Amino acid sequence: MARGSAPGERRGGRAKGTPNAATNKRREVAEAALASGLTPLDVMLNTMRKLWEKAETGECEVQGEGERAKIVTPMEMRLMAADVAQKAAPFVHPKLSNIEANVTAQVGVRVVASPEDEAL
């Protein structure tokens, strides 16, 4: 005769509070990035600056080997730098948003008349 679990009994599985493998991996990667002192934003900004610097000096770069070799022109480097800059911009510059302002004010009008004005 098969016996089921008693009320409140826990059988098998991971113990409560034990992080799973994916959580451990993410934590290790985050700690390694923190230890190196280099953030993804730093990498993006450095890449953008290097590409722009090469483009401004007019350097051409050969990517690949043999038949698959490709010459990257300064204009292409500028475009790559602009692409990286576009991806980094949300992390560097605040995004403007529309706000709605509801302003209520009490305005009073007081008429001041001199005796000469009343005569008219």
- Alpha helices (H) along the chain: 21-36, 40-57, 74-92, 115-119
Print burial letters for 57-95: b (CB count within 10 Å at least 16), e (below 16).
eeeeeeeeeeeeeeebebebbeebbeebbeebeeeeeee
Task: Provide the whole-model pTM.
Answer: 0.51
Dihedral sign computed on CA atoms, order 17, 22, 28, 32: negative
Query: For position 94, what pLDDT does the model report?
Result: 84
Query: For position 120, what pLDDT does the model report?
Result: 66
pLDDT, tens digit, 9 for 90 and up, residues 50-95: 999 999 998 888 888 888 888 889 999 999 999 999 999 998 888 8
Q: Quote the CA–CA distance of 33 and 107 in Å, as a whole number.
A: 59
Q: Is residue 17 predicted with pLDDT exceeding 90?
A: no
Q: Is residue 2 predicted with pLDDT exceeding 80?
A: no
pLDDT, tens digit, 9 for 90 and up, residues 21-43: 888 888 888 888 778 888 888 88
Q: Is residue 47 predicted with pLDDT exceeding 80?
A: yes
